[in-house]
Amino acid sequence: MREIGIPHPRLPLPPVGEGDDPAAFLAWLGEAIPMVARLGIREMRRDGDTLEWSLALEPSLNDKGTGFGGALAAQTTLLGWCWTTLWLRRYGYDRDVVVAEAGQRFLAPVTGDYRMVCIPEADAGGERLAERLERRGKGRIALMQQLWCGDTLCLEARGDYAVLPAR
């Protein structure tokens, strides 16, 4: 049971270069952030610099029978946090990540199960983050998220994620 003001234990870092087991990471995430269990995340995949979730719409339904904007915005923010956290873990950094700024643009209603994709805003975003971490011990990365319902782009989001200095 989580307690206010008490940090959740971190998931041990995988060996550098081996990556994370997506199922183990999602299980830990559900314990660390209790609302995750109610978001409808069915699967998480990583391919290079792309992180993708497959989600069920039902947990995020609004009164109109479509996706609730607040839930979708929370999911885009969390997806960016996961991208940054998993990137850090891949390179052996044991750091905290916080969202510094986030915004969304809703383009079409979400009418069925959907997928969310997250990528760095700049082609060399990960490399620049690594340089900042090495030089200053902290850094920031801009990420973009898209929500697709079938072939329809329903939401575009952008967030800046700050990597805090080591404790």
The domain that contains 123 carries what CATH number?
3.10.129.10
Q: What angle do CA 54, 95, 24 make, to 5 degrees?
A: 40
- Please give the tally of structural domains in the chain: 1
In the three-class reduction of DSSP (H, G, I as helix; E, B as strand; rest coil), residue 1 is classed as coil
* pLDDT computed for residue 88 by the predictor: 93
- Residues with Cβ within 8 Å of 15's Cβ and at least 6 positions away in sequence, in order, are none
- 136 pLDDT more than 90: yes
Closest to 38 in 3D by CA, of 59, 62, 67, 69: 59
- 103 pLDDT more than 90: yes
Band (19; pLDDT cuts 50, 70, 90): confident
Domain that holds residue 86: 22-163
* pLDDT computed for residue 17 by the predictor: 66
Say what the pTM is.
Answer: 0.94
Band (70; pLDDT cuts 50, 70, 90): very high
Say if 5 falls within a structural domain.
Answer: no
Closest to 72 in 3D by CA, of 108, 122, 34: 108
